[in-house]
Amino acid sequence: MANTFEIKSTQLPLVALLLKTPELVHVIEDLQSQFGPHSQSNDFFDNDALVLDFSHLDSASLIQDLPQLLTTLQQCHLKPIAFRNATTELSAKALGCGLIEAPSDMPRGKPVVQKKNANKPVPESVREVVREVIREVPGQATLVIDKPLRSGQKIYARGADLVVLAMVNMGAEVVADGNIHVYAPLRGKAMAGASGNTQARIFSLCLEPELVSIAGVYRTSENPLSKDIQGKPAQVRLSNDGQDKLLFEALNA
């Protein structure tokens, strides 16, 4: 993931874009290269609702380039609906672009909106938007595929784990909001935690992928796996040290 921004799951059908630089030109370039129409992951998102988190960044260029950022997010199949942690001038610009102001500390996993100051009511516009995008998330289901996947084929387990009982050939893609299990050679692309689940994992009895990704953090075959992992039973997970690094671990046969 580029260091100009970070996309985080809110544990709801809603994601947050945390900007790490006021230079939106660089953010736009990184978004286009990772999730734009001509990128390898151009269908990673599926019109997910998004909140822009400015974390009190203040820059004339940020205000000037905001409309272009919103256009870029839409091209990446994201729907910016709200913003938070903005300065007064930036708030005015965002409101003028059709966004609404969200609480700076949005709730997680609850179907209600809460603020630290209970005496300050939540604006009706915020209530209406949050009512649309927040709901209780059901338990994970499982999609099972028992046929080989050829080049050009793609399987997406939306809101579910994915189990593949046959080979995933080069050029094929397997995507899941949960975990991915491939009980055969994995030679194509595998993207787990597609909606931002950082706890998702990828398992394979023969790991030799073109690309693996968990919650948007990815690694391609251009960076070869170690000999004890390449072509062996292994799992892929994210580190839990806050560094967003992919870890590759051999599985006991």
Residue-wise pLDDT tens digits, 150-186? 998 899 888 889 999 999 999 999 999 899 999 999 9
pLDDT tens-digit series, residues 107-151: 433 332 333 333 444 333 333 333 333 333 344 588 999 999 999
Q: Are residues 100 and 161 in the same domain?
A: no
pLDDT band at 104 (very low <50, low <70, confident <90, very high): low
Q: Please give the average per-residue pLDDT across 187-205, as a whole number.
A: 92
Total number of domains in the chain: 2
Q: Are residues 74 and 29 in the same domain?
A: yes
Q: Are residues 128 and 145 in the same domain?
A: no
> What is the four-CA torsion angle of 3, 201, 178, 241, rounded to 10 degrees?
-40
Whether pLDDT at 105 is above 70: no
Pairing type for strands 14-19 and 5-12 reads antiparallel
For residue 146, the enclosing domain spans: 141-250
pLDDT band at 3 (very low <50, low <70, confident <90, very high): low
For helices 60-75 and 24-35, what crossing angle results, to 10°?
A: 10
Q: Are residues 9 and 66 in the same domain?
A: yes
pLDDT mean across residues, the chain? 79
